[in-house]
Amino acid sequence: MRRMNDAAFALPHRLRRNRQSAAIRGLVRETSLAAAQLIHPLFIKEGTGDEPIASMPGCARLSLDGLVRAAEAAHQLGINAVVLFPAIAGDLKSPQAIECANPMGLVPRAIQRLKEELPDLAVITDVALDPYNSDGHDGLVSPAGIILNDETVGLLCAQALCHAEAGADIVAPSDMMDGRVGAIRAALDHEGHTSVSILSYAAKYASAYYGPFRGALDSAPRSGDKKTYQMDPANAREAVREAQMDEAEGADILMVKPAGPYLDIIAGLRNATNLPLAAYQVSGEYLMIKSASAAGWLDERQAVLESLLGIRRAGADMILTYFARDAARWLRE
């Protein structure tokens, strides 16, 4: 009989066998991350020249020329979709948020430029009133300070139509008003935009992690908070209700936001629906990794790829992330 190595003992399962080389680790890897799964959020502004965003190092408010350059660079790295966020000049913001549906506005012009210059890139637009609303809320605000649901939905439909007319491939309502997905679907179909998709922010939480983004767009609520429409971070079952409602109303893709602190929500929705799922790694998640790595306390590349892989592992098909370009480049190396 062969003598057992003194140090070895009988152990039927040694999980380390599947980790012993890069080749074997590659064979047993359960989750993949690819540039084609990433969506790049981009901030846009009027005029020439790009402006760095103080609250989001490495991000800038881009002129339309800068937008085309950034989108093209991302596209060349295998990223096939961008989502646009406009910085609207203060004098165009109003309590009626009327600029949101201006066919000559910043977003429609940006969509047209992108579709002219990069026709294969999918253009996604954010549908919500906060960049346009002088109150800083995603919906219209009554004199008593109430966020008005049904009045807002009418305006969101006009905004979505305006984006569709300009050539948007996907509209993404992020406002959390009830009934907006169905209303937007009906409005789009009525005007013949049957192939414009709806990516619904189904489970969007009232999160502290949006802080740096609101700094980028000067869109923080002027009074109150967003807790009467965005979800309570304590709730998970309610996310399933939101998802089911948006699915029934005709959403094509559902989103969970933020991503990292809500991986259980992503996993829960993965089981509750067969729609494709997106997750948004938001500005605060970006800033935490950026600042820790700028201080030399984290390896940025490894932390970014690990955070994105974790979101994929939880069940997201696609991820919106400000790291999209860096991640796509790192995935190629």
Active-site annotation, residues? 204, 257
Site for ligand PBG contains 83 (CB under 6 A)? no
Residue closer to ligand PBG by CB (options 210, 330) is 210
Site for ligand PBG contains 307 (CB under 6 A)? no
Site for ligand PBG contains 106 (CB under 6 A)? no
* Residues composing the chain: 333
- Helix (H) / strand (E) containing 318: strand 318-321
Site for ligand PBG contains 138 (CB under 6 A)? yes
Q: Which residue in this structure is represented by tokens 């790694």?
A: 281
Distance of CA 162 to the CA centre of its chain: 20
Among 3-11, 47-55, 207-215, 234-242, the segment contacting ligand PBG (CB under 6 A): 207-215
CB of 116 to ligand PBG, least distance (A): 26
- Chosen residue from 282, 318, 319, 327 binding ligand PBG by CB under 6 A: 282
Burial class of 267 by CB neighbour count within 10 A (0 to 12, 13 to 18, 19+): middle
Site for ligand PBG contains 155 (CB under 6 A)? no
* Near ligand PBG in 37-56, by CB under 6 A: none
- Tell me the three-class secondary structure of 93-134, residue by residue: CECCCHHHHCCCCHHHHHHHHHHHHCCCCEEEEEECCCCCEC
Site for ligand PBG contains 125 (CB under 6 A)? no
322 contacts 56 by C-beta, under 8 angstroms: yes
Other CB atoms within a 10 A radius of the CB of residue 225 amount to 11
Q: Is 293 left (phi over 0), alpha (psi -120 to 50) or beta?
A: alpha
* Near ligand PBG in 212-241, by CB under 6 A: 213-214, 226
Among 114-122, 179-187, 190-198, 206-214, the segment contacting ligand PBG (CB under 6 A): 206-214
Q: How far apart are the first and last CA of the chain?
A: 49
Alpha carbons 229 and 241: distance in angstroms, whole number: 14
Site for ligand PBG contains 261 (CB under 6 A)? no
DSSP 8-class letter at 35: G
CB of 305 to ligand PBG, least distance (A): 19
Residue closer to ligand PBG by CB (options 236, 288) is 288
Residue closer to ligand PBG by CB (options 322, 330) is 322
Residue closer to ligand PBG by CB (options 214, 270) is 214
Q: Are strands 51-52 and 60-62 parallel, antiparallel or unpaired?
A: antiparallel
Site for ligand PBG contains 132 (CB under 6 A)? no
Residues touching ligand PBG: how many (CB under 6 A)? 11
Site for ligand PBG contains 283 (CB under 6 A)? yes
Alpha carbons 42 and 182: distance in angstroms, whole number: 27
The residues binding ligand PBG (CB under 6 A) are: 126, 128, 130, 138, 174, 210, 213-214, 226, 282-283
